[in-house]
Each structure stands twice: as C-alpha cells, then as structure tokens.
Amino acid sequence: MKVISLTEYKLMLPMLELVIFALGILLIDLIIPRDWKWLNAVGAFVGLFFAAVCVWQIQATLPGGAVGFSGALLVDHFAVFFWYLFLAAAGITVLMSERYLDLEDEHSGEYYALLLLSVVGMMCMAAGIDVVLIFIGLELMAISTYVLVGFLRRERRSNEAAIKYFLLGAFSSGIFAYGLSIFYGLAGSTNLQEIHRSILAQNPRHPVIVIALLTTMTGLFFKIAAVPFHQWAPDAYEGAPTSISGFMSVAVKAAAWAMLLRILIFALFPLRSVYVPIVVFVAIATMTLANFAALSQTNTKRLLAYSSIAHVGYMLLAFVAMGTSEPGSPAFSDGFKGILIYLLVYTFMNLGAFAVITSLRQRQVIGDELEDMAGLYHRAPVEAVLMLLFLLSLAGIPPAAGFLGKYYIFLSLVESRHYGLAALGVIYSLLGLYYYLKIANAMLIRESKETKPLFVSIGMRCAVGVTALATIVIGIYPEPFIQGVSRSLPTWAKPTAPTLRQ
Amino acid sequence: MVPISTLHYLIVAAALFVLGVVGVLTRRNLVVILMSIELILNAVNLNLVAFSRMWGNLHGQVFSIFITADAAAEAAAGLGILIAFFRNKETVNVDEIDLLKW
C-alpha cells in the first residue's frame, strides 16, 4: 500500500483551497442578507489570492517538475504558468462581476462558487498527465461553465446559449472520451507518458490509432472552438452574462489549449505526421471563416467571439510550425513560446475589452450592440481610450502586447519555412484591423443618443486598469515574461520528471 | 461456439458510439439528444472495461467509474438548464432554439 506523502498534498493545495472557498461561499450565501451579497465576491477574491500565494510557494521550491498521486499530477513550469493565468483571469472576472450581477438582479452566491470550481477544473487540466484527471478536470470546468452561461435565468438569450453550449459541449466530451478510451486500450495505461512510450513503438498510420487520434482531436478542437467545430462559441458568448463571456474567451480557452498541448505535444508527438496536415487545414479554415464572419457583426460580444475564433487560428499556425520541426530547434521553441505568450497577452487584452463592454450595461440598457458603443469617448473618456488600446492590441499593433504574440507566431512559421502560411496569417491580421477599428470608429467618432456620463463602478475601474497595465507592460518590457515562458518548454526527453518526494 | 474476445466488446461499443452520434445529429428533441449523449458515454465505458480486462489492470475500470459519475453530473446540470429554458420558451424542439444566429 503506497502512502501519499505530505509534499504531494502540497502540490494540490491551491486546488483544495479553492474548493474549500467555493463550498464556503455556498454556505455563507445562505445566511447573509441581500444587501451584503458583495461579501461573496470578496470571499471569491480572497480565495483566488490565497491560491495564488500557494502556487507561488510551490513555484519557489520547484526543481524541474514534481509528480504526485501515482503519476497523475505533474506540476512543472508549464502547469504553474497556466495556474497563474487562470487565477488572474478569474480574479479580474470577479472584479467585473459584482455590479453587473447587481444590475441583472441575480444575487446568488453560486456564481462565484461555480467560478472557483471551474478554475479548479482548469488547474487539473493543465497539470494532469493522466487522462482520467484531465478528463475529470475538463468536465468540472465544462459543467460549471454550462451553468454560468445560463445564469441569467429570466433572460431567453442566456437560456438558449446555455442549451446550445451544453449540448455541443457534452457531445464533444463524449467523443473525446471515446478517443481516450482507445488510447488506453493501445497503451494499457491511462498515463500520458506510458501512452507516449507505447505509441512510439507502433505504426502511426494504423487505422485504430487514426480513429483514436481523430476522435480525440475532434474533442480538443471543439473545446478551443476551431472551425468546423466553432458554432457554439458565438452563441454562447452572446447569450452568456458578459463577465462570463470574457472569462470563457480567455480562461476556458487557455485551459483547452493547455490540454491540447499536453495531449498532442507531450503524449502524441510521434503521431505528428498524421495530425499536422489536419491542423493546417483547420487553421486556414478557422482564420478564413472567423475573420469574414466577424466583418458583418453588429453585436460587440458576437464580434469578439468571432475575433477569438480567429485568434485560435493564429495559434494553430504556431502549432503547425511546432509539429513540422524537431523538438529543440528554434522553430519548435518559438512556436511553443508563441502559443503561451499569445494566451497570456490575450487573457489581458480580451478581458479588458469585455470589461469595457460589461460596464456599458446600465439600468435600462443591455449595452452589447455596436450602437451602444457610439460616443463612448464623450461619456467615459478613460474607458474609451483604454478600449482603443485593447482593440489595437487585439489587432497586433506595436507597442501593445498583442504584437508580441503575433511576432513569435510568425517568427516560428518563417523559421520552419512555412512562408505561405505566414503570409496568409499576416493578411488575415490586417483584415482583422477592419472590424476592430469599426468598434473604435463607433466609440470615438459617432455621436451618441445618450449624453450623460457613464457610471463605472470601482471594481470595474480596477479590472480595466489592471488589464490595460498588463497589456502595456508586456508590450513594452516583455523580457521577464518571455523567460518565464521559455522555462515551460516540454521536457518529455526525460521519461520521468524528478519528484519532490523524499 | 466462438469465445467472446475483446474485439467483440469493441464492436458493440463502436456500434453504440455510432448510434449515439447519429442520434445527436438527427433527433430534434432535446431530451432524446441528451439520451444519445449518454449512449456515447456508455460506449466509452464498455470500451474501457473491455480493455481493462484485456490488460488485466484496473485503470480502465476506475476511469469508467469516473465517467459514470460525470455522466450523472452532466445529466443533472443539463436537465436543470433544460427546465430553465422550457419555462421561458415552452418547447424542447431544437429547431425552435433560434434566437441567436449569425
């Protein structure tokens, strides 16, 4: 009988802490009166802060990586990077949510509890190297977000978004699980390192392996919302509470990417000759469809949903560069860095944009149409200028941080000699500029019907300020972030990572 | 009499999986679609248990218990969402879920 040591518990302390806070919020919510509901938000924020402190403590004592729980949990720099990212995204979402929920007249503390639980699921996805843990993490995250998307029970659009997201999400999880079950059958183990070893010994074009790979990739593409499995994203983002749309577009997407990298790069890299052509096709289709669909949108949330699908297309390009070059070569490491930096930068700029849209929600105005953006500069100059910063960053204009992510992606493409794909990516980024500037045009130039200044709550000001600061700082002084990302390059050359265990 | 091997289980599981996928794609009733998703998850369970017996280890059986629990949680959350939707719209036909498009 193997005993689980105390250090292994320390590895999952951040998750335990978040679970305790989530359950605590559920209980406390029952006893606090209606006027004191903001305490729930404070509780969630404190929980996220404590979890971040725990992660920091783990990071300080981390050698290369630490395995725990019979090889199910691998906490390395890759996992820690994503943990920080999820916690930051959730923290900013909490700041955005308080007043928004008040305006929507939804006071249930379950909102914050579900938010924390979904972060726990994401942390499992980023740190799991056992398919059981990854799958359970995925489902914990997904089920929490299904409920969060439908949180505005009286609003029809929210109901409908939740139904669509739930049906497609559950369907894709089922297909994904089917693929994983075949990989278990091939390897005799649910551990990704074991799967990696057994795949190495087999013919990558064996029909059973191809079926397993295709079903697994279908699940992964659904989760990152790549064309042709993207249709849930615009609907879910439009109907969901705006704060949750922001959260989904960054944290849920980053978690799906962490899972995709763990599975396709760490475990199934020997199959790259099979999956890279598919990824090339998916990347081109994703960029094309998303950019053209975004051109004609009149709803800002839907527009940003299509823009987020387009960004997935750019990241898939970097993935192609990785898949076609040898591990350790500059193209491979720049592609990997490109994806991680893109996700980091995207977290701040997109959450910032969603924060500004969330603040447009007022007593009588839903605020998610392009019309509602009109004349924002006269109503709330600071927010309008920062929104312009986020939009330019999304379009990839230096010195805003968005440029950095695009730079690494195109660099890796050039290094792996995919000049055609690089050119296509640049053309589509320029096309993207059009619909981002459409928002900017409405905001700065058009006259608004509404003239009174926009009321923006303190939490919202903090959220917009923090995201804007991060967007500028990462853009101007990227060195520490690039170094942090470089440390999380895949280390599967060593079959088992060193453990913290004594 | 042919002895029942792992392959037989896999074929049954694959058939269940295909039935589930076809059900999700063609049926128009939300509850039936939910049932089809459960079929897919049961195909996964059957796969896992068959492989678990083939390899003689317990990983697959443990995974299948987790998937069963997950299917229950998903059904609970899904039916909750469905009821919230039904209260506002009074339909379970997916063709009438048409508020959000393009």
Identify the band that residue A493 occupies on the pLDDT scale cut at 50, 70 and 90: very low
Residue A275, SS3 per DSSP: helix
Q: How far is B1 from chain A (nearest CA, A)?
A: 26
Q: Which residues of B touch A (CB under 8 A)?
A: 10, 17, 20-21, 24, 30, 33-34, 37, 40-41, 43-44, 47-48, 50-51, 54-55, 57, 59-60, 62-63, 66-67, 70, 73-74, 77-78, 80-82, 84-85, 87-89, 94, 97, 99-102
Cα separation, A420 vs A346, in Å, equals 25
Q: Residues 6 or more apart from A122 whose CB is under 8 A from it?
A: A82, A86, A137, A141, A251, A252, A254, A255, A258
> pLDDT per residue over A260-283, tens digit each?
999 998 889 889 899 999 999 999
The predicted-structure confidence for A17-41, as pLDDT tens digits, reads as follows 999 999 999 999 999 988 888 899 9
- For residue A72, name the pLDDT band (cuts at 50, 70, 90): confident
**Option in A139, A162, A173 nearest B81 (CB):** A162
pLDDT band at residue B102, thresholds of 50, 70 and 90? low
Please, which residues bridge with residue A130 across strands? A191
Residues 6+ apart with CB under 8 A from A126: A78, A79, A82, A83, A86, A255, A258, A259, A262
Q: At B36, which amino acid appears?
A: S
Kindly list the distances between the CA atom of residue A284 and the CA atoms of A113, A218, A278, A412, B83, in Å, as whole numbers in the listed order.
Answer: 38, 16, 10, 17, 39
What average pLDDT does this structure show over B76-90? Answer: 90
| Cβ–Cβ contact A168 with B under 8 A | no
- SS3 per residue for A236-265: HHHHCCHHHHHHHHHHHHHHHHHHHHHHHH
pLDDT-based confidence at residue A502 (cuts at 50, 70, 90)? very low
3-state secondary structure of A73: strand
CA distance A46 to chain B (A): 27
Q: Decide if A145 touches B, using CB distance below 8 A.
A: no
Q: Cα(A107)–Cα(A491) distance, rounded to whole angstroms? A: 45
Domain of residue A395: give its range. Answer: 272-492
A182 Cβ neighbours under 8 A, 6+ residues apart: A208, A211, A212, A215, B47
DSSP-based helix, strand, coil % in chain B, nearest 5? 80, 0, 20
A102-111, A139-148, A191-200: the lowest-pLDDT one: A102-111
pLDDT of A495: 39
Q: What's the rounded mean pLDDT across residues A435-464?
A: 86
| Dihedral over alpha carbons A446, A450, A453, A459 (to 10 degrees) | -90
A4-19: per-residue pLDDT in tens? 777 788 888 999 999 9
A301 touches B: beta carbon within 8 Å: no
Q: Say whether B25 sits in a helix, a strand or coil.
A: helix
**Residue A67 pairs with which residues in a beta bridge?**
A74
Q: Among A86-90, A188-192, A437-441, A492-496, which stretch is predicted with the lowest mean pLDDT?
A: A492-496
* Residue A29 is assigned to a structural domain of this protein: no
Of A146, A181, A189, the CB nearest to B48: A181
Residues in chain A closer than 8 A to B10 (CB atoms): 185
Task: Please tell me the predicted confidence (pLDDT) of residue A342.
Answer: 94
Residue A499: name the closest of A131, A133, A74, A77 by CA.
A74
- Cα distance between residue B40 and residue B45, in whole Å: 9
Number of structural domains found in chain A: 1
Q: Which residues contact A29 (CB under 8 A, 6 or more apart)?
A: A37, A40, A108, A109, A110, A113
A–B CB contacts, 8 A cutoff, strictly below: 126
Tens of pLDDT, residues A122-162: 999 999 999 999 999 999 999 999 999 999 988 888 999 99
Cα angle A271, A268, A248 (rounded to 5 degrees) comes to 120
Angle between the A381-395 and A458-476 helix axes, to the nearest 10 degrees? 40
| Reduced DSSP (H G I as helix, E B as strand, rest coil) percent helix, strand, coil of chain A, to 5 | 75, 5, 20
CA contacts within 13 A on the Cβ side of A62 = 25
Res. A490: pLDDT tops 80 = no
What residue segments make up the domains of chain B, in order of their start?
A: 28-90
- Measured between alpha carbons, how far is A255 from A135 in angstroms, rounded to an integer? 12
Nearest CA in chain A to B76: A143
Torsion of CA A429, A431, A436, A437, to 10 degrees: 120
Number of neighbouring beta carbons within 10 Å of residue A419: 10
Q: What is the pLDDT of residue A252?
A: 95
Which residues does A435 contact at the CB level (< 8 Å), separation at least 6? A294, A295, A297, A303, A307
Q: How far is A414 from chain B (nearest CA, A)?
A: 35
Residue A9 resides in a domain:
no
Give domain status of residue A193, yes or no.
no
In a domain, A58, yes or no: no
Residues of chain A positioned with their CB less than 8 A from the CB of B21: 175
Q: Is the pLDDT of residue B83 over 70?
A: yes
Residues of chain B contacting A296 with CB distance shorter than 8 Å: 102
Q: How close are the terminal C-alpha atoms of chain B, in Å?
A: 57
- pLDDT-based confidence at residue A498 (cuts at 50, 70, 90): very low
Nearest by CB to A170, from B37, B43, B87: name it.
B37
Closest-CA distance, B38 to chain A, in angstroms, reads 8
Give the mean pLDDT of A201-230. 92
Distances (CA, A) of A261 to A79, A266, A339, B64: 11, 7, 10, 24
